[in-house]
């Protein structure tokens, strides 16, 4: 369980696949936000996770939730990944690892790579508070999407 649960979500400014800045605080008072941290674009479990989210985006929209996929990949890589998989929500580059550090979701060592995001989910409500977190230690496990939906339903 994350120490951020029931606390104000750390703000971040990250680049989307168009190189434009996206700031979390801009969604406060507007929408619930789902943060999907994932290890690396173009890997099998990450592709499965983001495609499953893509295929269920109507559900997220109906529950007034903005979804962001976040990884330490460059926004150039994420742009290609988004295009290749027809991802219909924003992917954000945490190349400098600031958001992953703030949410305490960095692997020390991921197959020899330092500072890769752990697969994790945070729901930030419209007040800017973290109301759900799931941090997975195993990169080949998908988040509990059913629980994610239940939490979003409870916010509406």
Beta strands in 4-89 (DSSP E): 13-16, 21-23, 32-37, 65-71
Q: Which contacts (CB < 8 Å, 24+ apart) does range 79-84 have?
A: 79/17, 79/18, 80/41, 81/41, 81/42, 82/17, 84/42
What token pair was written down for 90?
């924003």
Residues classed as catalytic: 46
């Amino acid at each position: 369980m994350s120490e951020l649960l029931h606390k104000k979500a750390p703000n971040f400014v990250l680049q989307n696949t168009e190189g434009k800045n996206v700031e979390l605080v801009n969604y406060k008072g507007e929408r619930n936000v789902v943060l999907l941290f994932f290890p690396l674009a173009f890997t099998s479990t990450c592709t499965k996770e983001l495609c499953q989210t893509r295929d269920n985006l109507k559900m997220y929209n109906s529950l007034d939730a903005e979804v962001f996929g976040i990884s330490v990949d460059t926004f150039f890589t994420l742009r290609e990944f988004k295009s290749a998989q027809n991802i219909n929500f924003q992917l954000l580059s945490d190349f400098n690892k600031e958001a992953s550090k703030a949410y305490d979701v960095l692997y020390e060592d991921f197959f020899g790579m330092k500072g890769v995001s752990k697969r994790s989910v945070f729901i930030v409500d419209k007040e800017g508070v973290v109301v759900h977190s799931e941090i997975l230690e195993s990169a080949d496990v998908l988040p509990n999407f059913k629980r994610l939906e239940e939490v979003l339903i409870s916010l509406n």
